[in-house]
Amino acid sequence: MVKPDYRLTYHLTPEYGWMNDPNGFVHINGEYHLFYQHYPYKPVWGPMHWGHAVSRDLIHWEYLPIALAPDEEFDAGGCFSGSAIVVDGELVLMYTGHVVTGPDNTMDYKQAQGLAYSKDGQTFKKYVNNPVIGYDLIPSGVSQRDFRDPKVFHHDGQYYVVLGSNDTQGNGLILLYRSDDLKQWTFVNILAKSDGTFGDNWECPDLFHLGDKDVLMFSPQRMPAQGNEYTNLHSTMYMVGKFDSKAGTFTTERFAQVDHGFDFYAPQSTIDSKGRRIVIGWMDMWESDMPTQDGHHWAGAMSLPREMVLDGDRILFRPIEEIEASRCNVFEITDVAFSGKQTVDTIGDCYELEVEFEAGQTKTFGLKLRVNEATGQETVLTYQTAEGLLSLDRNHSGIGPGGERKAAVPLMDGKLALRIFVDKSSIEVFAGNGETVMTARIYPDQESRGIILFSEGKNRVVSLRKWDIQ
């Protein structure tokens, strides 16, 4: 049995065992299907299966039977990440078959792409002629090993797929393929490639139209930090620009980080029947300690689904509105002037908190969450007014990895607005209108539930509202 401590309540976690990347995110017949990289036997990464869950509101999920297991020659080492597409009412999955080819499983492997079909949305049949994008379709000058994470989409009457790889010289890249029937594929072009500053291998690419632009989103591995940006071992980024499907090119106008916290990786998006572009990410990070691996029998979680809205040449990320239906027990204070420390008269470990500060002349201010003053546990959000920086500090959060992340968040009319989601072992902070998001896993004791405001100098809380999420 999984242990209940740290188990999230309104985020998707594996029923048992391990979870990483979101896969096959799709909206069909009024339901959102979300698949995920899954090892069902232990809370560790192992030969990958596709776990499967379904939801009507993106908050309450029902587990379905495992969709894919490694049982073919071309996927014997695992069914790696991929995506879904609906063709004539049928759900089609496209995924990477991973094969280990020698004694060193970090070096000796090959990857190719296969299909699986489902008529009922529950049971999947792998295509008999898999792989459909085989080893022979990898262009020269590109890794013959890292060739994975197909994101399939329909565009101008044809199917396209983007795949992640590298040039074997330390530069991540994205490959573009085209097909009429999902079975016969031709290589079009290298759609985008690192110039040496964007990491040595790119994983989980996604390409979609948003507003009047195109967006390329991906997860660069080992991308060097740029100041306060891209400070995790592996990052997530998006490029806003123009996709030319005929030429197979992407012209970038602007790029930015998707999430500025510690734990957000391999995001995948889908579009729903309301026309919303929704993204969800794995709310963990490779090579970062996961305390629930130790005796809890589960590890890994998904982020809150976020709606993406284009604003000029940047993307705003907003928690999907369905979460508001789960709010209860409202607590509210308005117009509170304070300096120093101010304890808020409510507690919790599973809530949404919306707060607006008026910075005034205050040098630094912020709030502490999941506080236990007796033990010193706290997760701290600090705003430095002169620098315009918001920081998330989990050095005293509890067990698990510590550290601090900082992001540029300009004040709006002298005010800082934050929407914060806390769920047992996670925190997600949306600043302003969704210009900046910071996500982290934290592992405080159950007793660490306090909320404290602090300010160096006179500050005013315009309003603070908190709802338990049930």
Active site residues: 21
With CB under 6 A as the contact rule, the residue among 204, 304, 429, 438 that binds ligand FRU is: 204
- Does 428 participate in binding ligand FRU (rule CB under 6 A)? no
59 or 112: CB nearest ligand FRU: 112
User: Which runs of E-coded beta strand occur in 283-388?
Assistant: 298-299, 306-311, 314-319, 327-343, 350-358, 364-372, 377-384
CA–CA dist 32, 10 (Å, integer): 15
- Does 266 participate in binding ligand FRU (rule CB under 6 A)? yes
Q: Whole-number minimum distance, CB 20 to ligand FRU, in Å? A: 5
Q: Whole-number minimum distance, CB 158 to ligand FRU, in Å? A: 25
With CB under 6 A as the contact rule, the residue among 49, 148, 213, 441 that binds ligand FRU is: 148
Q: In the structure encoding, which two tokens stand for residue 204, read together?
A: 């989980």
Half-sphere exposure of 377 (CA within 13 A, CB side): 17
Q: Whole-number minimum distance, CB 135 to ligand FRU, in Å? A: 16
DSSP 305: P
Q: Whole-number minimum distance, CB 94 to ligand FRU, in Å? A: 12
235 or 379: CB nearest ligand FRU: 235
Exposure pattern of 271-288 as b/e (b: 16+ CB <10 Å)?
bbeeebbbbbbbbbbeeb
Give the three-state DSSP class for 103: coil
Give the three-state DSSP class for 212: coil
78 or 241: CB nearest ligand FRU: 78
Mask for 47-86, x = binds ligand FRU (CB under 6 A): -x-------------------------------xx-----
- Does 263 participate in binding ligand FRU (rule CB under 6 A)? no
Q: Cβ contacts of residue 275 below 8 Å, gap of 6+?
A: none
Q: Cβ contacts of residue 358 below 8 Å, gap of 6+?
A: 414, 415, 459, 460, 461, 462
147 or 351: CB nearest ligand FRU: 147
CA–CA dist 35, 67 (Å, integer): 8
Count of CB atoms situated within 10 Å of the CB of 60: 14
Q: Cβ contacts of residue 136 below 8 Å, gap of 6+?
A: none
147 or 159: CB nearest ligand FRU: 147
With CB under 6 A as the contact rule, the residue among 21, 206, 263, 435 that binds ligand FRU is: 21
Q: Whole-number minimum distance, CB 290 to ligand FRU, in Å? A: 14
113 or 391: CB nearest ligand FRU: 113
Specify whether the CB–CB gap between 113 and 131 falls below 8 A: yes
- Does 36 participate in binding ligand FRU (rule CB under 6 A)? no
- Does 20 participate in binding ligand FRU (rule CB under 6 A)? yes
With CB under 6 A as the contact rule, the residue among 13, 83, 96, 268 that binds ligand FRU is: 96
Q: Cβ contacts of residue 277 below 8 Å, gap of 6+?
A: 208, 210, 269, 270, 271, 307, 308
Q: Whole-number minimum distance, CB 334 to ligand FRU, in Å? A: 43
Report the site for ligand FRU in 376-405 (rule: CB under 6 A).
none
Q: Whole-number minimum distance, CB 201 to ligand FRU, in Å? A: 8
Work out the widest C-alpha separation in the chain, in whole angstroms.
69
- Does 423 participate in binding ligand FRU (rule CB under 6 A)? no
- Does 203 participate in binding ligand FRU (rule CB under 6 A)? yes
106 or 361: CB nearest ligand FRU: 106
Closest CA to 231 of 80, 382, 391: 391
Which residues lie near ligand FRU (CB under 6 A)?
A: 20-21, 37, 48, 80-81, 96, 148-149, 203-204, 265-266
